[in-house]
Amino acid sequence: MRKIIFLLLTVSLSTVMAFAQISSGENTITSVVDAAKQYNPVQTATISLGVAPDARGGSMGDVGAATEPDENSQFWNPAKYAFAYSRAGIAVNYTPWLRKIVSGINLAYISGYTKFGYYDNQAISASFRYFSLGEVTAYNSEGVEQQVINPFEMAVDLGYSRMLSDNFSMGVVMRYIHSDMTYDDGDNEPANTFAADVAAYYTAYPQVGYSECQWSWGLNLSNIGGKVSYDGNATSQFLPCNLRLGTSFTFPMDDYNMLSINFDANKYLVPTFPQSWQFYDESGQVDQEAFEAAKQDYYDMSGIKGLFKSFNDAPGGQKEEFHEINWGLGLEYTYDRRFFLRAGYHYENEYKGDRKYFTFGAGVTFNAFHLDAGYVLSTAQTSALDQTLRFSLGFDLEGIRDIMGGKRRR
């Protein structure tokens, strides 16, 4: 039963595809063995930690490592907080996830920060993430309904960032993770662990013609830490440790109009799960002893060792390693720093998950708060991500204080 619940979570977040769907042109797969060698996504627990929580980044192809800082930078790159324009802010985000398949699955995310120190060159940030899978009916091996459970995952963050020069900052985040997939049969338990993020951000202001532009670079190595287990450490799963690299270029077209071009690339720093076809013997049969030993080594491997091993362990060699890189490209048009239009595209290799989708969004700022919405339009007909909506509401706490102070003076 535990495997059924794990499968539900994986399907909900990763859009698992059948082998028969993995074909195109000259690369058409003709056998199950060939399919196994091709379709091999990276496997992790707590997959919800990698889901983009906010409408702004989500509407630009899931991009945010080097974009202009905002209240939700905790997820994309916490080092950006040191360069935030306001001294403090908070945002509330909501995503009704996979609404085409089932109701009740949703992601709620709250994130905020406050700056301090000389010239406000430091910031403390925090966030809370709650991912609900709604109600799930559990069945026994005979197909008889046993109970209804409410699986969920949550994470609580606390971060610190600091400017190390006029152009460069770094940040760190500590995270507590809780994943509850339990049901009442006594052979499972919630998973708990800790993780950390390390981030860096660089921004410069090059002159292009008569315009002063902004060119930024960002790096975020997230979810570095231990592993999680739901069965008393009999088996363990890796966290979705991820390396995000990005750049952003903003060009002011005139006094009121600006355009930014943003790009992120990601790679899971998680080793590849052993595949049975790696252990065929001379007779064409799977060497079960060697296969089971490889799986046990995978389960026994620490999260830190797995991080380093992930750069050169894919069964298909370096070609498959490059397939594990997914990327996003996003555009943001700004008018008078009040109205925003956004669009983007996200790409993931068909053999590593096949998440390909266009994104669109808009935003508006009113004095001390702003409202954003984002929309996902998948290019794959079978994608569970299709028609996903995101909503974000952000508050400039310094602006609110100034407004309240103005009212008191009157």
Give the CATH number, domain containing residue 121.
2.40.160.40
Mean pLDDT across 238-264: 96
Hey, what are 338's tokens? 């009040």
Q: 34 phi and psi, to 5 degrees?
A: -60, -40
Q: Give percent above pLDDT 70 in the chain.
A: 84
**Coil, helix or strand at residue 353:** coil
> Quick one: average pLDDT of 121-143?
85
User: What distance in Å separates the CA atoms of residue 244 and residue 400, rounded to the nearest whole number?
Assistant: 33
Amino acid at 208: V
184 CA to centre of own chain? 31
Main-chain dihedrals φ then ψ at residue 55, nearest 5 degrees: -75, -30
Residue 286 carries which DSSP code?
A: B
394 is in which domain, residue-wise? 2-409
Q: Which residue has the higher pLDDT, 352 or 157?
A: 157
Which tokens go with 382? 């079978």
- Reading the block at residue 296, the tokens are 């046990």
pLDDT tens-digit readout, 166-185: 999 999 999 999 998 776 66
Q: Residue type for 268, please?
A: Y
What is the model's pTM?
A: 0.86
Q: Of the segments 38-42, 343-347, 386-390, which one has the largest average pLDDT value?
A: 343-347
Q: Regarding beta strands 242-252 and 237-238, do their DSSP bridges make them parallel or antiparallel, or are they unpaired?
A: unpaired
| Residue among 79, 88, 98, 91 at smallest CA distance from 55 | 91
Q: Using an 8 Å Cβ cutoff, are 71 and 90 in contact?
A: yes
**Tokens 């609900």 sit at which residue?**
132
Task: Give the pLDDT of residue 30.
Answer: 42
CB contact burial 327-356 (16+ within 10 A = b; e otherwise): bbbbbbebeeeeebebbbbbbbbbbbbbbb
Least confident range of 282-286, 311-315, 349-353: 282-286
Average pLDDT, the chain: 85
Which residues are CB-contacts of 267 (< 8 A; sequence separation ≥ 6)?
242, 243, 310, 324, 325, 326
Task: Give the Cα separation of 16 and 409 in Å (integer).
Answer: 59
State the Rg of the chain over Cα: 23
Looking at the structure of the chain, the number of domains it has is: 1
Q: Which residues contact 146 (CB under 8 A, 6 or more apart)?
A: 1, 138, 139, 140, 183, 185
Task: For residues 32 and 3, give the distance between their C-alpha atoms in angstroms, rounded to a whole number.
Answer: 22
- β-bridge partners, 212: 207
**The pLDDT of residue 340 is above 50:** yes
**Distance between CA 287 and CA 386 in Å, rounded?**
41
Per the CB < 8 A criterion, the answer to whether 94 and 110 are in contact is no
Give 383's pLDDT tier (boundaries 50, 70, 90). Answer: low
User: What does the CA dihedral 334, 337, 339, 340 come to, rounded to 10 degrees?
Assistant: 40
Match 């339009």 to its residue by tokens.
377
377 burial class (0-12, 13-18, 19+ CB within 10 angstroms)?
middle
Cα–Cα nearest to 67, from 250, 211, 198: 250
Assigned token pair, 94: 């909501």
**Model confidence band, residue 21 (pLDDT cutoffs 50, 70, 90):** very low
Residue 310, C-beta contacts closer than 8 angstroms, at least 6 positions apart: 241, 267, 268, 269, 270, 271, 272
Q: Please report the pLDDT score of residue 209 as a whole number.
A: 87
Q: How far is residue 165's CA from residue 169's CA, in Å, rounded to a whole number?
A: 7
Asked if residues 243 and 269 have their Cβ atoms less than 8 Å apart, the reply is yes
How much is the pLDDT for 86?
92
CB-based burial label for 288 (10 Å; 0-12, 13-18, 19+): exposed
Alpha-carbon distances of 118 from 115, 121, 162, 167, 318, rounded to whole Å: 10, 6, 11, 16, 47
Contact, 356 vs 346, CB < 8 A? yes
Give the pLDDT confidence score for residue 127 in this predicted structure: 98
